[in-house]
């Protein structure tokens, strides 16, 4: 019943999962909870929610899931109507009645301006009615794309969460650019709502996920390839799929992965993913850093240096920036441009106290 697929194998995320499951348990006990899940694209936000809600479809709860995108941002209340399943043809008279009310107020695909306060109240009243009748779960996926009216409904529901039998969940990219989204998140945090931040998978979980996908533990060379995904489950799955399409994975009993032949495949996939991601996004920084590392590992030293040089001035993430300076210096040394590498290291920002300083590496043989 979920609009997103479960991963081939669930790997750890135990602390984050426990936070969401605490919300599920609160609803089971007659209470309520609001949870905000954030992270870069592909990090597993939706999959975490699916895993936390496993088994709830058999409890008789009212469960709705809406997915926002760039188009819904221009359609007042569209994602919230999807989540609440508000349709004129709905067999539920409460939902059908709400749809008729919204239609009478000329709310639709080509509505001009913001949704009226009365339209927001129509959906607030419907949510209140649903929560009174049964425990209710509302998930808004990719809230950073939601229209302002839907953001207002989510905000008002979160503000009145203690009066409802409701588990309210939002997934959102880290550091959303829209001030309205930032305000909704800040308001939830001030009221004590749960904010779950998903980071990259650790190396052990990456290995477990690759093993589940391929049916065999990854060889050392494959570990080197999958490291280019930087712990992002979506990029990891796409990388492994791309390598499989290129016949990178040998049949049982065959030899190891041919690294120098397959590293360009990883670089090509990362380049495509990076080019589809807007600069200024944290995911862009991570993908660019991974792309430069993949090119360096493949022996494309000049291209690795070019990609790193172009990216550094626009990188916002200081950790990725430090990584990219290091890759640039290594690429320059390996390409026989040691003088440039020394200049790069002088220009690099001081390392964070939590991270070791960069060292000038020896040339690659």
Give residue 271's pLDDT. 78
Confidence tier at 363 by pLDDT (50, 70, 90) = very low
Express each pLDDT in 134-178 by its tens digit. 999 999 999 999 999 999 999 999 999 999 999 999 999 988 889
* pTM > 0.85: no
User: pLDDT of 125-134, one tens digit each?
Assistant: 999 999 999 9
Among all chains, which residue has been given the structure tokens 């945090």? 189
pLDDT band at 278; cut points 50, 70, 90? confident
235: pLDDT strictly greater than 80? no
Q: Higher pLDDT residue, 365 or 81?
A: 81
Q: What is the pLDDT of residue 338?
A: 77
Average predicted confidence (pLDDT) for the chain: 81
**pLDDT of the residue at 361:** 39
Which of 93-97, 164-168, 262-266, 297-301 shows the lowest mean pLDDT across its residues? 262-266
CA atoms in the 13 A half-sphere facing the CB of 210: 28
Report the pLDDT value the prediction gives residue 116, as an integer from 0 to 100: 66
Where does the pLDDT of residue 1 fall: very low under 50, low under 70, confident under 90, or very high at 90 and above? Answer: low
Split at pLDDT 50, 70, 90, the class of 107 is very low
Band of the pLDDT at 266, cuts 50, 70, 90?
Answer: low
Range 203-347 has CATH code 1.25.40.10: yes
Residue 314 has pLDDT above 90, yes or no: no
Boundaries of every domain in the chain = 14-197, 203-347
Q: What share of the chain has pLDDT > 90, as a percent? A: 39
Query: Which one, of 47, 52, 19, lies nearest residue 209 by Cα?
Result: 47
**Predicted pLDDT at 190:** 95
| Domain at 14-197: CATH code | 3.40.50.300
Q: pLDDT band at 73, cuts 50/70/90?
A: confident
Structure-model confidence comparison of residues 330 and 273, the more confident one: 330
101 pLDDT above the threshold of 60: yes
pLDDT at 122 over 50: yes
């Amino acid at each position: 019943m979920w609009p997103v697929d479960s991963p081939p194998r669930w790997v750890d995320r135990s602390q984050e999962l426990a936070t969401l499951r605490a919300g599920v348990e609160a609803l089971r006990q007659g209470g309520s909870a609001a949870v905000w899940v954030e992270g870069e694209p592909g990090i597993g936000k939706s999959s975490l929610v699916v895993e936390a809600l496993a088994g709830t479809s058999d409890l008789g709860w009212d469960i709705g899931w809406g997915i926002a995108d760039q188009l819904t941002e221009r359609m007042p209340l569209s994602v919230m109507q999807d989540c609440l399943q508000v349709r004129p043809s709905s067999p539920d008279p409460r939902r059908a009645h709400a749809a008729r009310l919204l239609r009478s107020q000329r709310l639709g695909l080509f509505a001009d301006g913001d949704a009226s306060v009365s339209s927001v109240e129509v959906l607030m009243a419907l949510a209140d009615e649903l929560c009174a009748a049964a425990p209710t779960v509302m998930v808004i996926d990719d809230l950073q794309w939601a229209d302002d009216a839907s953001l207002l409904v989510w905000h008002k529901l979160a503000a009145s969460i203690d009066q409802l039998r409701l588990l309210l969940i939002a997934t959102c990219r880290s550091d959303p650019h829209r001030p309205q989204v930032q305000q909704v998140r800040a308001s939830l945090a001030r009221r004590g709502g749960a904010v779950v931040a998903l980071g990259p998978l650790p190396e052990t979980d990456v290995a477990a996920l690759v093993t589940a996908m391929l049916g065999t533990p990854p060889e050392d060379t494959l570990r080197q390839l999958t490291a280019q995904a930087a712990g992002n489950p979506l990029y990891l799955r796409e990388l492994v799929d791309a390598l499989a399409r290129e016949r990178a994975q040998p049949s049982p009993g065959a030899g190891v992965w041919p690294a120098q032949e397959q590293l360009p495949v990883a670089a090509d996939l990362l380049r495509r993913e990076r080019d589809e991601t807007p600069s200024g996004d944290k995911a862009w920084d991570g993908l660019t850093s991974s792309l430069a590392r993949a090119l360096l590992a493949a022996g494309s030293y000049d291209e690795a240096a070019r990609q790193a040089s172009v990216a550094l001035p626009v990188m916002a993430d200081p950790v990725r920036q430090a990584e990219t300076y290091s890759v640039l210096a290594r690429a320059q040394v390996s390409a026989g441009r040691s003088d440039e590498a020394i200049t790069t290291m002088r220009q690099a920002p001081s390392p964070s106290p939590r991270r070791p300083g960069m060292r000038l590496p020896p040339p690659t043989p």
